[in-house]
Chains A and B, each alone.
Chain A
Amino acid sequence: MARFRTWVGIAVAGALGLSLAGCSSTGGKRAEDARNAAAQGRAAVNTPRWTFAMITHSGDGDTFWDIVQSGAKQAAVKDNVNFLYSHDDEAQQQAQLVDAAVDKKVDGIIVTLAKPAALKASVARAEKAGIPVITVNSGSAESKAFGALAHIGQDETVAGEAVGDELNKRGRKKVLCVLHEQGNVGHEQRCDGVAKTFGGTVRKLYVNGTNMPDVQSAVEAKLQADKSIDAVVTLGAPYADTAVKAKQDAGSKAEIDTFDLNAKVAAELKDGTLGFAVDQQPYLQGYEAVDLLWLYKYNADVLGGGRPVLTGPQIVTKDQAGALAAYTQRGTR
């Protein structure tokens, strides 16, 4: 026991000493704090402090949803809104979270309909309780039928078609579409959209998105097995970088393109490692959802006229990447 205590003491002292001595003058938490300080502010309105809850189908620790959240939080600060966020990637659990928000008598609900059938009853329950609902990100087809005020997001099929067009423009012949979430209908729509407009052939590859080494080895094996693949499309920003590594290891000449943006993707677009990215502007999805709920509560305004309000697709290439780099760095693009 005494020896254990000694070791703990040494470890704590060592950690303290290292953190004091080893300051970095660039990057890190201090730089992040400086960036964040710019983007806060205070309420610009004096409406009552309403509570809006956002419930998404995100898994734990997904960068995309961090960007959606930061958009929503920014709008919440401006609109004097108490913003609550919860998520679960199991449809039944997500529905229960919506139920809990209804029980809590929040003033507005923002929900993703990645698995629409599972959420139908919960959304209906919210409306019965007189709580306005806005759908974001996924569920453009079901949103209106479920009685939501508006849908904010990207039509996945349209986004896929845009990718197909862009690939045609770049003269590609055979594309590998990498799906990192088995069971996500939106992902299937993206790849099917690519296949719809793309002139060449599209091959689908399913990988386990929560296990990066597995993603890399799967893409690598596919690229080695089929040398005629000249483009890889990943469906999420973190997977683009993994595909680049796989391509290098496999000695393939394929162009890597991706859905969604992050800091790394922006940098790689800039230096030409990646061909292009399709952005659906997640920040805008979170921001607009909160702001539209506020507008509805304040002024009964509804945007979109019963049709989805599209936040994408926006094709980002080398030319625009430089300008976006700063925004991806602070986590808002």
Chain B
Amino acid sequence: MSAALDTVPEERIPQGSPLRKLLARPELGSVVGALAVLVFFACTADGFLRASSLGTVLYASSTIGIMAVPVALLMIGGEFDLSAGVMVTSSALISSMFSYQMTANTWVGAGVSLLVTLAVGAFNGFVLTRTKLPSFIVTLGTFLMLTGLNLGLTKLIDGTVSTKSIADMQGFPSARAVFASTLTVGGVDLKVTVLWWLGLVVLASWILLRTRAGNWIFAVGGDREAARAVGVPVNRTRIGLYMGVAFGAWISGQHLLFSFDAVQSGEGVGNELIYIIAAVIGGCLITGGYGSAVGSAVGALLFGMTSKGIVFAEWNPDWFKFFLGAMLLLATLLNHWVRKRAEAAK
């Protein structure tokens, strides 16, 4: 993966000395930040570097990272998705309720959930391209609608606010193995979500840097009209990006469902911002056209290390949001500065 990144195509990065090349990488700021946080907690938090702690930190990071990857791609394409957080819960709810109510194999429920979630993503993209409304408004609408649907439908169908357990149904053990199992690698308990996360990062990096679709994403996010003029299928790219986010939401949703076997209908609200924060810390520009999938992964890792590091350091968790905000500002400032330097050098 790193080999692929080192031989990135020409025009996206200014040519120059190796040092300058390094400085121009979008994820530089986040890597520096992540190293600083790692050293900081290694020194102050007792037991932070223990193998079992590493598993917990990676798990926390992966649950954010799985969504941060497609959200980063979407942001490179110049758009937002505020419905990403509740879409995870929606996806889990659909899967769980379909399996239970139809007494179907849990894989059937997961399949139906995939289709519906992708449809929600396509709906976001379609409304956006058709109405030309800002994505902030469109996805804010979907966010609110999904929040209402999650609670309303769950209450209507199940009678309570959480779904019924599907742990005793056919297909559950195999689905749990795929979405929520724990692997022991060299004494470290790793959740399978870490593999999903890594897989998504590799896939997204490959798409961004090695395929035509990747060029389209950068072009659409950089200058939409210019991209359209040179023949980039702008609308298709944007709809595709929203469906990518929906796919991530499906994986996260299935993980939620199959690790806990019941889903709370009111959850997920507010997580969309966490995904965006991870992408921005990882070097994505809020205006689009710049960023990387690896950066979003480092952003998610930073998030996971901070949230669990505070527990290990025995600090009051009330301060967590403050640290996060400060880190977001610092990372963005660093990225901004690095980019300016890189552009000046061009």
Contact = CB atoms under 8 A, between A and B. Distances in A.
Contact of B311 (A100, A117, A118): A100
B63 interface: yes
Given A96-B59, A100-B56, A105-B47, A84 B162 contact: no
A103 B162 contact: no
Contacts of A206: 151
Contacts of B317: 85-88
Interface stretch (B31-39, B105-113, B237-245, B264-272): B264-272
B266 A182 contact: yes
A244 interface: no
The interface centre, meaning the residue of B60, B151, B311, B316 with most chain A CB atoms within 10 A of its CB, is B311
A183 interface: yes
A252 B56 CA distance: 53
B207 interface: no
Contact of B161 (A91, A92, A105, A182): A182
A265 B21 CA distance: 64
A118 B260 contact: yes
Interface in B252-285: 256, 259-262, 264-268, 271
Contacts of A118: 260, 262, 264
B25 interface: no
Contacts of A241: none
Contacts of A102: 52
A194 to B, nearest CB: 16
A264 interface: no
Contacts of A87: 317
A121 B264 contact: no
A182 B311 contact: no
A184 to B, nearest CB: 7
Given A87-B317, A120-B260, A184 B267 contact: no
A104 interface: yes
Nearest to A118: B260
B162 A185 contact: yes
Given A86-B317, A104-B312, A188-B161, A96 B56 contact: yes
Interface string B142-186: 000000000100000000111001000000000000000000000
A90 interface: yes
B267 A183 contact: yes
Contacts of A85: 316-317
A136 interface: no
The interface centre, meaning the residue of B50, B256, B259, B260 with most chain A CB atoms within 10 A of its CB, is B260
B261 to A, nearest CB: 6
B93 to A, nearest CB: 11
A91 B259 contact: no
A103 B271 CA distance: 25
A97 B316 CA distance: 13
Contacts of B343: none
A184 B161 contact: yes
A115 B321 CA distance: 23
Contact of B151 (A61, A82, A183): A183
A325 interface: no
Contacts of A101: 311
A230 interface: no
Contact of A188 (B151, B160, B312): B160
A60 interface: yes
Interface in B53-109: 53, 55-56, 59-60, 63
A183 B56 contact: no
A91 B53 contact: no
Nearest to B310: A86
Nearest to A100: B311
A108 to B, nearest CB: 15
Nearest to B256: A92
B53 A103 contact: yes
Contact of A103 (B50, B256, B266, B267): B50
Interface string A170-211: 000000000001111100100000000000000000100000
Interface string A229-262: 0000000000000000000000000000000000
A103 B56 contact: yes
B314 interface: yes
Nearest to B257: A117
The interface centre, meaning the residue of A103, A120, A185 with most chain B CB atoms within 10 A of its CB, is A103
Interface string A108-144: 0000000101101100000000000000000000000
A90 B160 CA distance: 18
Interface string B304-337: 0001100110101110010000000000000000
A165 interface: no
A257 B162 CA distance: 27
A120 B271 CA distance: 23
A242 B179 CA distance: 44
Contacts of B56: 96, 99-100, 103
B161 A183 contact: yes
Nearest to B261: A117
A101 B317 CA distance: 13
B63 A185 contact: no
Given A93-B307, A104-B312, 13 more contacts: A60-B318, A84-B311, A85-B316, A90-B268, A90-B271, A95-B260, A103-B52, A117-B165, A121-B260, A183-B267, A185-B161, A188-B160, A206-B151
Q: Give 8 closest A-B pairs by Cβ, nearest first.
A: A183-B266, A117-B262, A100-B311, A103-B53, A118-B260, A183-B161, A117-B260, A182-B266
28 contacts: A60-B318, A60-B321, A61-B318, A82-B314, A85-B316, A86-B317, A87-B317, A90-B271, A92-B256, A95-B260, A96-B59, A97-B311, A100-B311, A103-B50, A103-B52, A103-B53, A103-B312, A115-B260, A115-B264, A117-B261, A117-B262, A118-B264, A181-B266, A182-B265, A182-B266, A183-B151, A183-B264, A188-B161
Interface of B: 46-47, 50, 52-53, 55-56, 59-60, 63, 151, 160-162, 165, 256, 259-262, 264-268, 271, 307-308, 311-312, 314, 316-318, 321
